[in-house]
A = this chain, B = another copy of it.
């Protein structure tokens, strides 16, 4: 029996739609792996050796300059696909933000399997197009929004993306959630410094827009205000 049978993202990941025989084959070239929070899975500019499906947990995709500045260019949630198929090197590092479980494939094996299964390539294409859309709207944020607009947009996005985690089935956006990011990582997502992020959080708290029960917890008290601020 293949471990895919019990996979919680079986129907949401790109594997969805494959028949039993195909799943069997895919299963035979992939393997489960756990990644602990902070542990890297893929290195920037490395030979792109791995691709993977996220089963559980959250991972960040980052690029860095030589002098150590970092920008988070993407965030992968359960059922997301990570890595760079059909290419020699990956343009981003992948590091776990929380403890995570992934289903990894050697890039070569995956490429070969994908080329033989157009339906899977189609799913991958749809995902990649959607990711490109998201990335482009994030460029708008990075290039043209100020600090408070960035923070408001970020909190709304988090509240959407984290809606389904926390055991509640997706009932619209989450009012209260636990950030998978440290303050520094929030800064790395938004192109800000940790101090500016901290000040903006404090300001929103003082203005009664959000509550901050603990370092990682956020509760949205006035969603309308956030939407207005996000611009």
Which residues of chain A from 103 to 136 have a CB within 8 Å of any chain B CB?
Answer: 115, 118, 121-122, 124-126, 128-133, 135-136
Q: Which residues of B contact A131 (CB under 8 A)?
A: 132
A38 in the interface (beta carbon within 8 A): no
Q: Mark A57-82, 1 if CB is under 8 A from B, else 0.
A: 00001011111011101100000000
- Give chain B nearest CB distance to A62 CB in angstroms: 9
Which residue of the partner chain, among B67, B71, B122, B125, contacts A140 with CB atoms under 8 Å? B71
Count A interface residues, CB 8 Å: 43
A85 interface contact, C-beta 8 A: yes
| Structural contact, A65 and B122, CB atoms closer than 8 A | no
| Interface membership of chain A positions 85-108, coded 1 if the CB is closer than 8 angstroms to chain B and 0 otherwise | 111000110000000000000000
Shortest CB-to-CB span from A60 to chain B, Å, is 12
Bound Cα distance from A135 to B145, whole angstroms: 18
A131 to B92, CA, bound (A): 14
Which A160-181 residues sit within 8 Å CB-CB of chain B? none
Residues of B contacting A85 with CB < 8 Å? 129
Instruction: Return chain B residues, CB-CB under 8 Å to A143.
Output: 71, 142, 190-191
Which B residues touch A63, using CB under 8 A? Answer: 136-137, 139-140
Q: In this assembly, does A144 line the interface, its C-beta being within 8 Å of a C-beta of chain B?
A: yes
A119 vs chain B, min Cβ distance (A): 9
Beyond A70-B144, A138-B139, is A86–B125 a contact (Cβ under 8 Å)? Answer: yes
- A32 beta carbon closer than 8 Å to chain B: no
How far, in whole Å, are A38 and B118 apart by their CA atoms in the complex? Answer: 38
- Contact between B140 and A65, CB atoms less than 8 A apart: yes
